[in-house]
Structure formats: C-alpha cells, structure tokens
Amino acid sequence: MTVPLTPVQQRTLDLLGRSGDPVVFDAELVAELRADLDAGLAELTERLDAGGEDSASERDLWVTKRGLETVFTCEASWAAPDDDFTWTPARAKGQVAHKAIQLSVHWRGEVVPMTMVDEATARLANEERSLGVWLDSLGEGDRADLRSRAVEHVTKFVECFPPLDGRWHPVTEGTVQYPHSGRIVLRAKPDLTLGTPRGRESRKVIIDIKTGRLMGRHRADLRYYALVETLAREVPPRMLATYSLDSGSADLEEVTVELLRSTLRRTLDGIERMIEITAEDREPSRTPSVACRWCALRETCAPGISFLAGDVDGD
C-alpha cells in the first residue's frame, strides 16, 4: 500500500525533482577545469615539497570543505592542533544521526528513528576510531542524552523527506576525490546525493542536511562538492541543495559554469593559504568571529578573547 506524502515531503519532492530542459555542460568545460586545477596543484605541490624538514609540510594535504571553511574564517584556528578535543553527546549526535539516516535510506520495512539510532550507535561503537572508543564506554546518562538528540534529528529527516525510491540512485555519505593520487588531494563527502548522469546530461542533486538556520557559507560548502564531483565524474551535478530539517525547507542553487570556475579559484586560494602556513612559515592571521566560541585557541588568542568579551565586532 502506498503511504500518502505529507505536505512537507511533497514539497521536498517537488523542489528536488527535475523540470525544464535537460542540463548538459560542454565537455571542453570539464577539460578546462581539470587542466587549470592540475596546473595549480602542480605549482602548489612544488611549494609544499620545498617546505624543508618541517614535519607539517612533509605530510600530504587532504583538502575538505571543513578545512577550506576554517582557513577562510580564521587561519590560526585552522592551523591550531585540537589536542584537547573530547566527544560529548552534543558533538556526537551529528555522526550518529547521519549514520542512522544512511541506514534508514536502505532499510527494508518500516523506518523507526529510535531503531535506526540504536543500530547506528552499535555499529559506530565497533569501529576502531576515537568516536567508537567513546561510544563503547558511555554511561547510561550520556547514552540517553545522545540517543535523544540523534532520534530528534532522524525523526525530522523522516518527516521532511519522502521514501527514497531506488530508481533515484540515493547515496549517503559517498566519498569523491580528485586527483586519484598526489601530495594534494581534494576530498568531498556529501550527506546525500540523488540521481546519476545519463551520458553527458547532468541529473545529480547534491544535498547537505542541516539543523538550525541556513547560512551563506553553506553554499560555499556545496559549491566545493560540485567542483570535486565535476572533476572526478566529468559531469557536473545539476543542482545543489542545503536542506534545513528544522524548517523543512531548502536553499537551492543551480550549477553553472561561472559557479564552477569561481569555486576552483577559491579552492586554489585556500590551498595556497594552507601551504603558506605549513610549508612557508607564514604567521596565520587571526580573525575573530562567532567561531571563536568553539575554537581550540579560545583561551589563549587575544583577538578571540576580546571578541568573546564583547570588545570587538565580528562576522
């Protein structure tokens, strides 16, 4: 029996569905983007290799949306080691909820958010990572706190998204990278993608799932995903969507030639900043903002302390 969609589920389906003429990008565009990025990475790799015996410059550089966002927000925060990081229910809820959503997309039978969260928690606890070790040692209070937070997140997803038909090619947490090897590699891991190219026709939608209000920087994250997808698959996605589970609405952006080119320039700029700091001994700049609240330097950074005390304006 087909279950009728709620108004929010129907709106989500209408927003993400294809309409209008087919979207086809010129093959020469992809070749141009690849050539420009390859040339930029070759130059930046030389500078990375010339960094001397400093241990930071000897490591390969994995570029992610989070790294780019942080280096543009505050270079000192990006460069700071986060040695005092500890897991809490508030920090872990996103990882657990995303794993639960991943399971729910491919679950046979009725999707019960609490069941998805319990299954996700058990699977993550078996992984040999810091999160797994923390989950495996949770007391009942923190476990209940984490479960409550994650179940809320997954329930909102189930309420906002229609059941994902297998013909839509849903992929959760799928990793894409370019190039396949080298000292500098671009890596993307979208929350959810729907669709797959047909020949050179762009059909894929890349979706980032958020709680809280949507912000301008979220578009930059998705544009980076679109660039990596284009470089790796040679067919750009057709649309980017930042989806707010709290409001049941999405910020949509069509992929264009200009978007891909400007994102490539931004990405190379961000990588250059990283190399200047790690391999060329440039002092990272300190830019106070609301991000100071959770920065590893918040107790020692003078501009950040002043900002948090209300003495400095910030973004």
Q: Would strands 184-188 and 176-178 be described as parallel, antiparallel, or unpaired? A: antiparallel
pLDDT of amino acid 218: 87
pLDDT of amino acid 19: 83
Identify the DSSP state of 32.
Answer: H
154 and 187 together in one domain: no
Q: Would strands 205-210 and 239-244 be described as parallel, antiparallel, or unpaired? A: parallel
Contacting residues for 315 by C-beta, under 8 A, at least 6 apart: 289, 290
pLDDT of amino acid 315: 47
Q: At CA 204, angle to CA 177 and CA 170, rounded to 5?
A: 85
100 and 80 together in one domain: no
Domain that holds residue 309: 286-315
| Each residue's pLDDT tens digit, 182-200 | 999 999 999 999 999 999 9
> Between helices 217-233 and 65-73, what is the axis angle to 10°?
140
187 and 240 together in one domain: yes
220 and 258 together in one domain: yes
245 and 187 together in one domain: yes
216 and 145 together in one domain: no
Of 192, 274, 258, nearest to 223 by C-alpha is: 258
pLDDT of amino acid 56: 60
Look at residue 25 and tell me if it is in a domain.
yes
Look at residue 101 and tell me if it is in a domain.
yes
Token duo for residue 277: 């700091």
pLDDT of amino acid 286: 95
pLDDT of amino acid 54: 53
Give the Cα separation of 229 and 177 in Å (integer): 8
pLDDT of amino acid 74: 95
Of 32, 78, 137, nearest to 286 by C-alpha is: 78
Q: Provide the 10 A C-beta neighbour count for residue 42.
A: 11
pLDDT of amino acid 311: 57
pLDDT of amino acid 17: 87
129 and 235 together in one domain: no
Token duo for residue 51: 């960094």
Question: What residue ranges of the chain have pLDDT lower than 70?
Answer: 1-2, 52-58, 83, 311-315
pLDDT of amino acid 20: 79
